[in-house]
Structure 1
């Protein structure tokens, strides 16, 4: 069993294409219910410093290994939120995170729908996968999910860290019950810029104008989650071979080779996107860097964009036709060193060419077939429902 971000079309019993990350037609029937005796909620309200892209992925509960073609094909709403934040080795990031989960609900006694059963009875597994994918939605999490990201740019790296420390101190005041957050920095000046990005599922969505608003909205989201104003934000998926099948000997298309290929393409894409975000930072703040060659950076950016397009084309082709999957290694441009006038930050090196293991959130680890037991959220600060 695995869990992916909810998307329109995913409901109890819906089929799911595990390579492309697409919702398919309803394939499984059966009522759904919460765990016996489950009541209340579990969740957290926490502040996280982001020091690398992997920190962002873990804090925002992004797992590139599951769903959406490893973020290559369309990608979830959370992938798109990450792109908006422009995670870069040059900027400094902080995140305020809120999760409030209702009791998990899963399908009780799931069975193949008649149309799905008929296709497998006729040994038409290819057509079955086209209509119903290779997994089905076996359960759902409903509640509140809120991520507020502070992106800090400054002429001096030390200044970025000072502002981040001020944001963290303001969070400490807010979490301890202070009515007014003690954040005094302006959102922009000649030597720095602070941007705030918000991702929210459930509750009331409001405009966020600054750091005090960010903490207020995070607290409001948690309160609305407690009040029952939740929204589906994740589903659990099971393979069809866990159900009773015609003659119990139906075979499904092998997809693991395609997923390995997409994982390699995803590694390349993430490395190129980090380079592109560093270039974007430098071009928007040229006065902060020594001997910056804007024309060369623009040319490199164009080269990266072309490679990213080719990667997406390869991924799309592979996900549609497994026989068309092939290894593809992009041409990485020679990136010049970006040196700040007051000292350069250490850029994050490109990732290895194989997908590194990600630390999965504890609430996903706790999912068991047919039920969820002892859902534990290992967080900085627990909040009871």
Structure 2
């Protein structure tokens, strides 16, 4: 037996006797002269680490429950921490990480011990057995306050390489080597394919803290935050978590011989090692029994179950043997002898995902179905828009070709190029204006004279034109760029740009697009205007951005391909401002084009922000970021009770100025 060692605190008091065989405090044989803190070193000590473990024994060591650390079997069986360690169900299939943070305050120790009269009477009469029964073979000399936090995280993936990557990312995130949320993002990516399906669990044990400081953690991010904040909790609300046990020979008192103590330790260590071995074998087989999808060539379920039952019996027998040793019921101490034979070894072979996969044929599928099918096969789809659809009646985003072709075997994770057409804005729309039926946006109406307002920052082109002057009373007129209400009583021209409030057709700057004037809307029209209007809208915003000449700018294109109106509910410009402001409402089957830019007075910043539109049962938020340093990014988020009825897509453009960010909303 060690002369002095530390054990887990269990409400002991300084001066109490301690039975090292049972691991419990017994009667108090000593009077304590004084109890003091360390006045020379009153500071705290913090030990923290995140480790990937490879055995059950290593797990126990990391939890501070090794045989050397605790010294006695009985200390484990009654310990809450022991229950926590066994609840982790350690197995050799999964990757296990242990995050631990141990905080110690200044040590409290008793001094000037004196033997009580009743204990001294037993010693003087050589009644050592009675003394050991009443007061144990050692005593509590000091207490360590502070706290301890442990989190065990199990990660399992069908792909062992992906499992190792997830474990390494999680370890790096706890150590602060990668950004917060890295593990969550990589975990979500892994579960996008059945070939890398993964799962994780996290369990925690904490002593120290109070109230909100000790509420259970659920997410990985919460465990990481608790791990980093725990030293403060242990300082504010410490607990006693270690007890210093000293042998009576430090006083000294008569004790068992060193050889007797060595034999006891040897037998106790053997029982504990056998118990851990049987438990790990049982856990491995139970995991294979519950999760056969991670293994191949498994024996029949009844064979697995029989082996599991056998290891349960062996582990119970090893625990009972160790318990009897710790209570002194086996004298002299003996090594553990299994009551039944160990089962024939069952080799657990992990599934090896194929290195090559067959490319599916996605030609003729909608882009989103093709994207999902390729990702399911472990491939990386790359999207290419080959052109704008010549008319709005054709199906949007149907895959026209792919590279490589379907049926070819290629390495898993390879890129597959898919090509399709798309349309700008879209859909059919027909309106009546002053008794005239207006055509869809593919038709362009001519006029000799027209009233064209200057809206906000720039003049722009409408998809509908009416011959002659528009009557000077309110009309609502729709555009793929904006919804405009006539008339405008005033306009605000920019220096160098004319104010097109009412001009004759022959002086109109877009004469090349408009063509000659006609008398009626049914006479000759220009085809393919949807393409021209889409390009024109983007070019209009691009021209405005060019006149401003901001260091960073974006053109934002939001397509509403549904039959509902979208209304603006909020906007958030984190960096920069609007170059072309967005409208408050987007009509059904129409497109909004607007722009944002970096602030002229700001140095070293770009443009970043988001805007949210709401429809029936949904909210659609688009985000963009064109930073001063780094790559451009964008995304689109759809929420609400009816979000499942729609799907979205976003495409991020590159470049510092006039980078195009496209966002699309479609019905399913």
Could you tell me the TM-score, scaled by structure 1's length? 0.79
The Cα of 1:199 is off from its aligned counterpart by: 1.0
Q: Which residue of 2 aligns with 1:368?
A: none
Q: Which residue of 2 aligns with 1:355?
A: none
Q: Which residue of 2 aligns with 1:374?
A: none
The Cα of 1:75 is off from its aligned counterpart by: 4.6
Q: Which residue of 2 aligns with 1:5?
A: 8
- Within the alignment, does 1:240 sit opposite 2:248 as a pair? yes
Q: What are the superposed Cα offsets for residues 89-124 of structure 1, whole Å, 9 maximum, x if unpaired?
A: 111011221111101111111222333222222221
Kept in 1, the 8 Å contact 2:282–2:308? The answer is yes
Q: CA separation of 1:54/1:307 partners in 2, compared to 1, >3 Å: closer, same or farther?
A: closer
Q: Which residue of 1 aligns with 2:90?
A: 87
- Within the alignment, does 1:261 sit opposite 2:267 as a pair? yes
- Within the alignment, does 1:70 sit opposite 2:73 as a pair? yes
Kept in 1, the 8 Å contact 2:15–2:28? The answer is yes
Q: Which residue of 1 aligns with 2:17?
A: 15
CA distance in 2, matches of 1:324, 1:288: 47
Q: Which residue of 1 aligns with 2:414?
A: none
Kept in 2, the 8 Å contact 1:149–1:197? The answer is yes
How many residues align? The count is 334
Q: Which residue of 2 aligns with 1:219?
A: 228
Which segment drifts farther, 144-153 or 31-40? 31-40
Pick from 99, 121, 129: which aligns with 1:126? 129
Larger relative helix fraction? 1
- Within the alignment, does 1:271 sit opposite 2:277 as a pair? yes
Q: Which residue of 1 aligns with 2:26?
A: 24
Q: What are the superposed Cα offsets for residues 310-342 of structure 1, whole Å, 9 maximum, x if unpaired?
A: 222222333333426333232332221001111
Kept in 2, the 8 Å contact 1:18–1:134? The answer is yes
- Within the alignment, does 1:342 sit opposite 2:352 as a pair? yes
Q: What are the superposed Cα offsets for residues 336-360 of structure 1, whole Å, 9 maximum, x if unpaired?
A: 10011118xxxxxxxxxxxxxxxxx
Equivalent position SS for 2:322: helix
The Cα of 1:129 is off from its aligned counterpart by: 1.3
> Which structure 1 residue ranges, 5 or more long, are not aligned?
344-385
Q: Which residue of 1 aligns with 2:203?
A: 197
The Cα of 1:259 is off from its aligned counterpart by: 2.3
Q: CA separation of 1:296/1:233 partners in 2, compared to 1, >3 Å: closer, same or farther?
A: same
CA distance in 2, matches of 1:320, 1:71: 11
Kept in 2, the 8 Å contact 1:69–1:75? The answer is no
Equivalent position SS for 1:19: coil
Q: Which residue of 2 aligns with 1:286?
A: 292
Q: CA RMSD in A?
A: 2.5
> Which structure 2 residue ranges, 5 or more long, are not aligned?
354-668
Q: CA separation of 1:342/1:307 partners in 2, compared to 1, >3 Å: closer, same or farther?
A: same
Q: What are the superposed Cα offsets for residues 153-185 of structure 1, whole Å, 9 maximum, x if unpaired?
A: 222222221211221232243x78x6x543322
The Cα of 1:251 is off from its aligned counterpart by: 4.8
Pick from 143, 153, 158: which aligns with 1:140? 143
Q: What are the superposed Cα offsets for residues 173-228 of structure 1, whole Å, 9 maximum, x if unpaired?
A: 3x78x6x543322599672221001111111311211110001112232111233x
Kept in 2, the 8 Å contact 1:201–1:231? The answer is yes
Q: Which residue of 1 aligns with 2:331?
A: 323
Kept in 1, the 8 Å contact 2:7–2:242? The answer is yes
Q: Which residue of 2 aligns with 1:113?
A: 116
The Cα of 1:149 is off from its aligned counterpart by: 1.4
Q: What are the superposed Cα offsets for residues 252-285 of structure 1, whole Å, 9 maximum, x if unpaired?
A: 4744322221111112111111111211221221
Equivalent position SS for 1:183: helix
Larger relative strand fraction? 2
CA distance in 2, matches of 1:244, 1:326: 29
Which segment drifts farther, 320-329 or 99-108? 320-329
CA distance in 2, matches of 1:169, 1:251: 49
Kept in 1, the 8 Å contact 2:74–2:323? The answer is no
CA distance in 2, matches of 1:222, 1:181: 22
Q: What are the superposed Cα offsets for residues 283-305 of structure 1, whole Å, 9 maximum, x if unpaired?
A: 22112211222211211111111
Structure 1 runs of 4+ aligned residues shifted over 6 Å read: none
CA distance in 2, matches of 1:139, 1:187: 51
CA distance in 2, matches of 1:198, 1:284: 23
CA distance in 2, matches of 1:65, 1:244: 23
Q: Which residue of 2 aligns with 1:208?
A: 217
Bigger CA radius of gyration? 2
Equivalent position SS for 2:234: helix
Q: What are the superposed Cα offsets for residues 13-63 of structure 1, whole Å, 9 maximum, x if unpaired?
A: 222221222222223221321123222201133222222334323322222
Could you tell me the TM-score, scaled by structure 2's length? 0.47
CA distance in 2, matches of 1:260, 1:244: 25
Equivalent position SS for 1:275: helix
CA distance in 2, matches of 1:187, 1:211: 16
Equivalent position SS for 1:320: coil
